[in-house]
Amino acid sequence: MNTLSFKDLQLSEPVMKALASVGYEQPSPIQAQSIPPLLAGRDILGIAQTGTGKTAAFALPLLCTIDSSAKKPQAIVLTPTRELAIQVAEAFQKYAAHIKGFHVLPIYGGQDMRVQLRALSRPVHVIVGTPGRVMDHLRKGSLDLQDLKTVVLDEADEMLRMGFIDDVQWILEHTPKERQVALFSATMPKPIQKVTEQYLKNPVEIRITPESKTVERIEQRFMMVQQNRKLDAITRLMEVEVFDAAIIFVRTKTATQELAEKLEARGYSAAALNGDMNQTQREKTVNGLKKGKLDILVATDIAARGLDVERITHVINYDIPYDSEAYVHRIGRTGRAGREGKAIIIITPREQRLLRTIEAQIKAPIGEYKLPSAAEVSASRIAAFKTELIATIASVSGRPEQEALQDLVVDLHENHGLEPLDIATTLAWMAQQENPLFVEAGIDDFVVDPSNARRERPNDRGDRNDRGDRNRNPREDRVRRDRSPTPGTTTYRLAVGRTDGARPGDIVGAIANEAGIDSANIGSIRLADTFSTIELPESMSSDLLNKIRKIRVRNRELDIREWSDKPPARREGGSRDNKSGGGYKGKNPSSRGAPRDRS
């Protein structure tokens, strides 16, 4: 299989032309084994990890069989998240660049339904969607699957974890009986096996053994710092590390631009790389890194996918990823093609749990990064200054200005009484004004010793003096008293509950889809009648919280707020302010249901 090329797979000419334009030559193992049976019309069961090339494994053969003159969908791809739906749709568009009249449409929750309805009224050949929104369109009759030939279930185990498996089965029941099914999953839990047995006909089973998650050529380290001193840490890091080119990962698009600008202000050649950039901007930025015009890219996970630049010697996780898969993808940007690389994570004391989780998943410890002291950095700067000064003296020798400059120094000495040593010292002081040679004392206080770090916790005891409040819900008091957050998480309150018809699966799916948080990092959900509580990773950015705040579940905004143990403020008429903590509206809060755990 290692010598197989795409030319050997009998793909159509337009598809081969697209592959040539993007520079693909050799298929990955999952592609080499999936494409022939899919072209032959067989059902397949593909068991492979994320990042093995599954999208091309099903997109390329599907495009070879699409009739672009038809008006109704011929293939549908179900994905667990909005981000993956968009990514898969973009891949289809790229591979179909030379297929005239081809249209792919991503449909997902959170997008205006009217936009999708207009798009569905026109010819569409491939639908890529999340289960909930696909079901909405099927119920409305706006999605017609009577001409469907192929169904692809992408990341089936993730859809199971997010509570979508019943929805997937409902959709399969509404597709033609004679259709091809391709199911891809990283693992095979029993519910997925059941789907396979019920809906796949004599499938070709393909298993790709996952590569080791630890890359021996990549040195992995972490640095623990105070939350508000991360910029100081990254600045020091970039100064002391000898690197050719580096990629710095952050969680949000806004952060890419902000950090790139701050690094540029400190003298580094840096640029942002995020999903808001069009293809021309992206290519220009990446080419700048390849050609040495840029030294640092500040990127999000999605924007950096597929990035392969030989110059990248360092990957720095300015924001620690929420899952190990993202971490493996990130550090894979260095140490490629036999080269060595270094990966460094900057964490805060609250993020120790995320670090331990990554270590457990990659089955390898990540050692502490020992940052040089202020004195060592000063010595390094002085040594570099000496080297530059000696080189400059040699380059000035023989220049036309040399004699005039010497006359200036002689004049200062003879006519102004200044000593040559004082003149030279002052010139050196002036030269280092913008980039000081000496690090200020106490500048190392942003580094935290992991062995002495104490995890900060929200105050989950509340005000002990308010226990006499007769309007407190005793069952809510029990929740407050007994339910402290899981280490590494913060408990939040959501303004949706059982009376709204909400289920834990609805909440998990909505947050995973809209906010891009891996469902594995969403903790306990406890439903009450008029609200619910949820555990999410600590240290989430304000941008991410604002995004979650506007997400709608059962037609209600989540209005996420950090769980407070203080009693809600009393309103006139005996009701409580429903915006505070876990408070209830109404005169008889004790009649409301207490939260219960997600099963």
Print the SS3 string covering 484-519: CCCCCEEEEEECCCHHHCCCHHHHHHHHHHHHCCCH
Amino acid identity of residue 340, one-letter, is E
CB 592 within 8 A of CB 586: yes
- Range with the lowest mean pLDDT among 214-218, 247-251, 388-392, 405-409? 214-218
Residue 325 has pLDDT above 80, yes or no: no
> How sure is the predictor about 468, in pLDDT bands with cuts at 50, 70 and 90?
very low
Name the band, by pLDDT with cuts 50, 70 and 90, for residue 571.
very low
pLDDT above 90 coverage of the chain, percent: 36
Query: By mean pLDDT, which of 18-22, 287-291, 309-313, 476-480 is the weakest?
Result: 476-480
In whole angstroms, give the CA distance from residue 496 to residue 529: 8
Most confident of 16-20, 180-184, 336-340, 435-439: 180-184
The domain made up of 6-207 is a member of CATH 3.90.1150.10: no
Q: What is the pLDDT of residue 277?
A: 84
Q: Is the dihedral of CA 148, 149, 151, 152 positive or negative?
A: negative
pLDDT at 102: 95
Q: Where are the domains of the chain?
A: 6-207, 218-371, 375-444, 464-597
Q: At residue 511, does pLDDT exceed 60? A: yes
**Are 218-371 and 464-597 in the same CATH fold?**
no
Q: Which CATH class is domain 464-597?
A: alpha beta
Span 106-127, pLDDT tens digits? 999 878 889 999 999 999 999 9
pLDDT higher for 77 or 393?
77
Question: What is the enclosing helix (H) or strand (E) of 345?
Answer: strand 341-347
Q: What is the dihedral sign for C-alpha 304, 309, 311, 314? A: positive
CATH fold, domain 218-371, is: Rossmann fold (3.40.50)
Q: What are the Cα distances from residue 292, in Å, to 240, 313, 338, 341, 502? A: 20, 13, 21, 18, 52
The region, left, alpha or beta by phi > 0 then psi within -120 to 50, assigned to residue 281 is: alpha
pLDDT on residue 442: 52
pLDDT digits (tens, 9 = 90+) for 193-249: 999 999 999 999 999 865 544 456 789 999 998 878 888 888 888 878 888 999 999
C-alpha 353, offset from chain centre: 18
State the distance between the two ends of the chain, measured CA to CA, in whole angstroms.
Answer: 44
Across the chain, mean pLDDT equals 81
Statement: residue 477 has pLDDT above 50: no
Rounded mean pLDDT of 574-587? 37
Contact 245, 289 (CB under 8 A): yes
Comparing 350 with 124, the larger pLDDT belongs to 124
Mean pLDDT lowest among 34-43, 237-246, 253-262, 356-365: 356-365
pLDDT of res. 451? 67
Query: What's the pTM value of the predicted model, to 2 decimals?
Result: 0.47
Query: What per-residue confidence (pLDDT) applies to 38?
Result: 96
pLDDT of the residue at 524: 83
Q: Which helix (H) or strand (E) holds 330?
A: helix 324-331
